Structure 1
Amino acid sequence: MTDNDPKSETKPAARPDERAARAARLAAQLKANLKRRKAQARGRADADKSDTET
């Protein structure tokens, strides 16, 4: 019986330094995304205020 099942193939475990680098990249992207979303929300809030004041 041959073992050609793709589920049985596993990826080699990432080295700890690769995991740390990936975690740092993801954290930076998350922080940038949050900053961008907050800026968009502030922009919408400012636009809503200016619409209601006129």
Structure 2
Amino acid sequence: MEMNRMEGTAKELRGSVKEAIGKVTRNRVKQAEGAAEKLAGRMQLRVLEAADAMRERMKQ
């Protein structure tokens, strides 16, 4: 699970950087790719949070 969290965080960070580069260079494709990658990383982290919450609920 920890590796998945690191992957999600890295994906979100890469996306943010790519999106910023796209904004600075006025490259809309790069900006959109960055936004999509950032969103994918964020979604990966949210899924892991939901899985953790479910595991905690099952323990109770």
**TM-score under structure 2 normalisation?**
0.56
The runs of 5 or more residues in structure 2 that have no matched partner are: 1-20
Structure 1 runs of 4+ aligned residues shifted over 6 Å read: none
**TM-score under structure 1 normalisation?**
0.61
Q: CA deviation at 1:13?
A: 1.4
Question: Is 1:32 the equivalent of 2:44?
Answer: yes
2 CA distance for matches of 1:46 and 1:26? 31
Q: CA RMSD in A?
A: 1.9
Q: Identity percentage over the alignment?
A: 16
Partner amino acid for 2:52?
A: Q
Asked which structure has the greater CA Rg, the reply is 1
The runs of 5 or more residues in structure 1 that have no matched partner are: 1-10, 49-54
Partner amino acid for 1:13?
A: V
Number of residues of Structure 1 aligned to a counterpart in Structure 2: 38
**Which structure carries more relative contact order (alpha carbon 8 Å, separation 6+)?**
2
Bigger fraction of residues in helix: 2
